[in-house]
Structure 1
Amino acid sequence: MERRRIDDCEPGPVPSPRPLDRFGFVKQERSSSPERVIKSKSTTEFEREERRVRKWRKMIGVGGSDWKHYVRRKPHVVKRRIRKGIPDCLRGLVWQLISGSRDLLLMNPGVYEQLVIYETSASELDIIRDISRTFPSHVFFQQRHGPGQRSLYNVLKAYSVYDRDVGYVQGMGFLAGLLLLYMSEEDAFWLMVALLKGAVHAPMEGLYQVGLPLVQQYLFQFDQLVREYLPKLGEHFTQEMINPSMYASQWFITVFSYSFPFHLALRIWDVFLFEGVKIVFKVGLALLKYCHDDLVKLPFEKLIHALRNFPEDAMDPDTAFEGMGNINKRSFEQMEIPWLSSS
């Protein structure tokens, strides 16, 4: 099996004729990327980052051996550190520990290879058609029939066989693609199983079943939250005949991994895997709140464009998370939105 791993805290350069950002995406011309901030880090900041990595290594133990014990003893410390962002060099391992996928893999030896090598899927042609549309600007997935595209195909095909009720739905590729940048095919497959089948949180498979029932439910609930927390904007949406399906469907289907800046998507995924789907609601509301004063002035066409193209300052992870502060647990409970009991 092809394997894509990030084992070192300072990954080496990836050969490419075009300049890449630190995540492996082709840099856009005239882009004011966060790379400029990263490159200008002082020695003190790098030392601080190294100390943070050491804390995380101590917290998770060798190969994750201490993780469950630490989470039980100090759940609030874990939550706070995850909100600040998991060190990139440890992200793949920590995601597997948080999601419960590591346990699934250990309980099912050989299952992934069986699905990939010996089973056939009714979705194979659909998967092949969509492969090149998944993170097309990332060096790992750019080569036609290259290792990245083969790994992506294998994971999606295996899942479509494993869960024939869901099969394959466009959008699942962004979940698998993001995971493959931080772990092996088999690890990515079992993390998808953990998410869709609900190893830790409420199962996500309803996002991809026929009719997308869970998407419809979440969009309805999101609309109600907008009207509760941002009533002026909610009224403006009504006047302009805007509903969440016009701009927020991909937020839930791909957990912000489609079209959002990758550094923001990663920080959201850190929290999402630990706290559950509530983070999608909260980040969405925080984005609307941040742009509220501009959005309430826009007519339909400009409003749709703005909702699909938030300004760069709104996309800063710390800004987005700060904007979540006044969204309380009771509103989610009243709407029966899944909420982790330790939150």
Structure 2
Amino acid sequence: MWLLTDVLKAYSMYRSDVGYVPGTSTIAAILLLNLPDPSSSFQALSNILNRPLPLSFHTNDTGAISHLNLDPDVYLRDTFVSLFTSSISLDNASRLWDVAVFEGDGVLVRAAVALFGSLESKLNDASNDEEILEVLKGGVSAEGLGEEDWIMAVRGAGKS
């Protein structure tokens, strides 16, 4: 537990303009489980979160989406801030991170499209805004898609 808070505090001090953002704890925890020491986890966390797409969700720039009638912050923020650990199983999120390291941030956008695609039938069944938000915030259950099926959905996202 102390290692996790140490890594999160270090990142908050390193990026005082961003500070602590809820959702980064899961990312740091997975890194601590998979890397040899806390300093490696901090470096990896910094490298992941300082990329353009993740950083855009960690800064508070509401003006960028104020012209929209929808508020994507409500349904996308947790997903991107936690790098999908709040929306899909940890195994699938870890696999997505592996792909993102090699293919870049664009795969995260495709993952969001794949996530919405996997929730399509539930979204169509929703009868009001509250139910839609409940479906979106619930994400995909751990038994929903295996790693290979998830990655295939991500790779096919946005293609006709």
TM-score range, shorter chain: 0.7 to 0.9
Runs of 5+ consecutive residues of structure 1 not aligned to the other structure: 1-148, 225-240, 329-343
Output the CA distance in 2 between the equivalents of 1:191 and 1:305.
32
SS in 1 for 2:92: helix
1:208 equivalent to 2:85? Answer no
Letter in 1 for 2:78: Q
* Unaligned runs of at least 5 residues, structure 2: none
| 1:152 pairs with 2:22 | no
Distance change (3 Å), C-alpha of 1:206 and 1:316: same
Aligned counterpart for 2:126 among listed residues 286, 298, 306: 298
Alignment of 1:116-135 (within 5 A): none
Q: Structure 1 residue 326: deviation in Å?
A: 5.0
Q: CA 1:306–1:150 in structure 2 vs 1: closer, same or farther (change >3 Å)?
A: same
Distance in 1 of aligned mates of 2:157 and 2:24: 31
Instruction: Give the superposed CA RMSD.
Output: 2.8
Q: Using structure 2 for the length normalisation, give the TM-score.
A: 0.77
Which residue number corresponds to residue 74 of structure 2? Answer: 246
1:261 CA drift (Å): 1.4
Show structure 1 runs of 4+ deviating over 6 A. none
Q: Structure 1 residues 206 and 323 mapped into 2: Cα distance closer, same or farther (>3 Å)?
A: closer
**Equivalents in 2 of 1:197, 1:311: separation in Å?**
28
Match of 1:327 in 2: 158
Please show how residues 1-343 of structure 1 align to structure 2 within 5 Å: 149-183=1-35, 184-198=37-51, 202=52, 204-209=54-59, 211=60, 213=61, 243-258=71-86, 260-300=88-128, 301-309=130-138, 310-311=140-141, 314-324=144-154, 325=156, 327=158
Residues 287 and 170 from structure 1, CA distance in 2 versus in 1: closer, same or farther, beyond 3 angstroms? Answer: closer
Shift in Å at residue 157 of structure 1? 1.6
Identify, as 1 or 2, the structure richer in helix. 2
User: Which one has the largest radius of gyration?
Assistant: 1
Change (3 A) 1:185 1:277: same
State how far apart, in whole Å, the 2-side matches of 1:326 and 1:260 are: 16
Identity of aligned residues (%): 25
8 Å Cα contact 1:196/1:205 also seen in 2: yes
Give the length in aligned residue pairs. Answer: 153
Could you tell me the TM-score, scaled by structure 1's length?
A: 0.39
Q: Residue 195 and residue 287 in structure 1: after superposition, are their counterparts in 2 closer, same or farther (change >3 A)?
A: closer
Deviation by residue 1:83-135 (Cα, 9 ceiling, x = unmatched): xxxxxxxxxxxxxxxxxxxxxxxxxxxxxxxxxxxxxxxxxxxxxxxxxxxxx
2: distance between equivalents of 1:278 and 1:159?
24
Judged with a 3 Å threshold, the aligned counterparts in structure 2 of structure 1 residues 186 and 283 are, in CA distance, closer, same or farther, namely same
- Kindly provide the CA deviation profile for residues 115-156 of structure 1, in whole angstroms up to 9, marking residues without a partner as x: xxxxxxxxxxxxxxxxxxxxxxxxxxxxxxxxxx11011111
Residues in 2 aligned to 1:244 and 1:315: alpha-carbon distance in whole angstroms: 24
